[in-house]
Structure 1
Amino acid sequence: MNESNIAKLINFSCHSSDFREGEHFTSIHSLGMVISGVMDLDDGQRKQKFEKGDLYSVRKNHLLKFVKYPPVNGEFKSLTISFDEELLLDFSREYNYKSGIKQKSTAYVTFQDDKSLISFMQSLLEYKEIWDDSDIRLIRLKQKEALILMLKYDINFKDVLFDFSKPYKIDLEDFMNKNYHFNVRLDKFAYLTGRSLATFKRDFQKTFGTSPRNWLQQKRLQEAHYLISETGKTSSDVYLDLGFENLSHFSYAFKKQFGYPPSSVVKQNK
């Protein structure tokens, strides 16, 4: 593992803007704790708020949105320790942990006030000044300590943490209808559905009768029109949640699709 990747395995995040939001494909398992402020996690099926002292574990091979809110006159702070596959393979061999029945894991899980894990994460803060230049030996020790505590909290975590298989082929229509609002590359959609990019495009055409890009655009715009007309939300409220990169692109696409700008849509009275 190169030095730049080592430095990212333990990450202290800090920012003081009004809020920060984004989304990503989670390619690695991690354990995190909110130090100050509030964070929302949204996997498309459920949304949960995390406050100061709350612990969470993000699972690999999922799509996830986040919003981070700093406290009044303060900074949002969080601490994350990640578990690369090299470490997990070594740990599974050293301690004889194996994945049992393959489980369909959720994008994230929470911990109910586990004092051992909270104390462990707080202890990591004492090292935050040296993580960038720390050597791999110390990081490996801390990763293993975290894993031992997580498995003591719930031994069933082994079925997810030590599952080294690739995503298997799943129902394309169901997956896309649940995840169309995530703004990720097509190759990530393909990977998560257990397909090569070429197979994904071919299966998509058979299933939906159009290309992935066209379908995604149409689906997102239809949902946007519904939210604006039926719930009174504005363009600013919906464009990021529906996978558009910026407001101007959303407004342009909306007008091209419906013949009028989103600002002219009036909420329907029931």
Structure 2
Amino acid sequence: MFIENVPESYTTSDDVNKNLFIYDLKMTEASIKTKVNLNMHMFSFLQVGKKQVHFPDSSVIVDNKQSLLVKKGNCLWSELLDKENTYFCKLLFFSEQQLIEFLNKHVQKNITVKKEPSYFIIENDAYISTYLNSLTSITNSSNKSIENLLVNKFEELLLYLQSKYQEQFESYLFSLVNKEKKSFKHHIEQNVYSSLSLEEIAFLCNMSLSTFKRHFAKEYGLSPGKWFREQRLTKAKVLLEEGKFKPSDIYLDLGYSNLQNFSSAFKTRFGFSPSEV
């Protein structure tokens, strides 16, 4: 199982200890559900294409109308090309040390920190466009003046987003340095109806597949395959009995890749096909 360590896979040995790092990610082939060990928090400013990211507790997809602030940790990301078969994303990585310095300087400590997802969506605007143009001239040089300039640019960006999103953004920033971990059951129940494989869910929980299966059986008393199948098919039966949906409307949202597999599993479980409900 290949796991990409980011930003290490984008850096040289001279960049490893940097608190701030810019990288232009350009691709001509799509990548689907790459297993990523993200070791720094990251701004993702998508310029061309689409990006989808799965986290232990949520997932998100954006195009070039939005940018993402992403919490470090295990995730799966897909980079999808546009019509001209290109993908371009400007990435800005930052350390917790750099973030804490900003919080101590610019954010009141009595703010109420809410439970936040692993990402924060930023609506692109004229400022973001101008800001990205200014970053283009900044390289990842070891030149001290360039490093100092990047620190100022990072602070400028956070101040702008703070003024735009106010307490919502401040709460998210504090969540990035909050060490409270969400429970195993929380991650499982957030992915009940996802299309992720057991191996992918195990990776998001930072476990090997064998460890994940043992832990799951201990928590739920069933194998993960049986438990997920039971939850999804029971949900499908309830939805179909309400009469608002057809089988073709729901199979994707319940984690099945095609209608035939869904129908077969449904009939095996209940003794009749979903179209007969």
Q: Shorter-chain TM-score: which interval? A: 0.5 to 0.7
Given the alignment of the two structures, is residue 166 of structure 1 paired with residue 179 of structure 2, yes or no?
A: yes
CA distance in 1, matches of 2:56, 2:107: 35
CA distance in 1, matches of 2:103, 2:19: 23
CA distance in 2, matches of 1:94, 1:123: 24
Asked if structure 2 preserves the Cα contact closer than 8 Å seen for 1:39 and 1:68, the reply is yes
Match 1:188 to one of 206, 219, 237: 206
1:102-123 deviation digits (Å, cap 9, x = unpaired): 2111222222343223321232
Distance 1:96 1:42, change over 3 A: closer
CA distance in 2, matches of 1:139, 1:14: 21
Given the alignment of the two structures, is residue 30 of structure 1 paired with residue 42 of structure 2, yes or no?
A: yes
Give the paired residue count: 226
Shift of 1:133: 4.8
Shift of 1:18: 3.9
- Please list, as runs of the form range in 1=range in 2, the aligned pairs for 1:104-253 lying within 5 A after superposition: 104-127=115-138, 130-131=139-140, 133=142, 135=144, 136-156=147-167, 157-163=169-175, 164-168=177-181, 170=183, 172-179=184-191, 181=196, 182-185=200-203, 188=206, 207-209=219-221, 215-219=223-227, 238=257
Given the alignment of the two structures, is residue 82 of structure 1 paired with residue 93 of structure 2, yes or no?
A: yes
1:82-140 deviation digits (Å, cap 9, x = unpaired): 2311101222223354362121112222223432233212321233xx22655543332
CA distance in 2, matches of 1:132, 1:218: 53
TM-score when normalising by structure 2: 0.62
Asked if structure 2 preserves the Cα contact closer than 8 Å seen for 1:7 and 1:132, the reply is no
Match 1:3 to one of 15, 20, 42: 15
Distance 1:96 1:108, change over 3 A: closer
Q: Which moved more, 1:80-89 or 1:12-21?
A: 12-21
Structure 2, unmatched stretches of 5+, are 1-12, 237-246, 267-272
Q: Percent identity?
A: 15
Structure 1, unmatched stretches of 5+, are 190-197, 240-261
1:205-241 deviation digits (Å, cap 9, x = unpaired): 653236xxxx4455567789999xx7688xxx859xx
CA distance in 2, matches of 1:186, 1:77: 25
Q: Give the aligned residue type for 1:106.
A: P
CA distance in 1, matches of 2:214, 2:60: 35
CA distance in 1, matches of 2:204, 2:53: 22
User: What is the alpha-carbon root mean square deviation over aligned residues?
Assistant: 4.3
Q: Give the aligned residue type for 1:16.
A: T
Asked if structure 2 preserves the Cα contact closer than 8 Å seen for 1:20 and 1:68, the reply is yes
CA distance in 2, matches of 1:152, 1:30: 20
Given the alignment of the two structures, is residue 95 of structure 1 paired with residue 113 of structure 2, yes or no?
A: no
Secondary structure, counterpart of 1:6 in structure 2: coil
Distance 1:216 1:205, change over 3 A: closer
Secondary structure, counterpart of 2:84 in structure 1: coil
1:173-199 deviation digits (Å, cap 9, x = unpaired): 34322247444448736xxxxxxxx9x
Distance 1:16 1:225, change over 3 A: farther
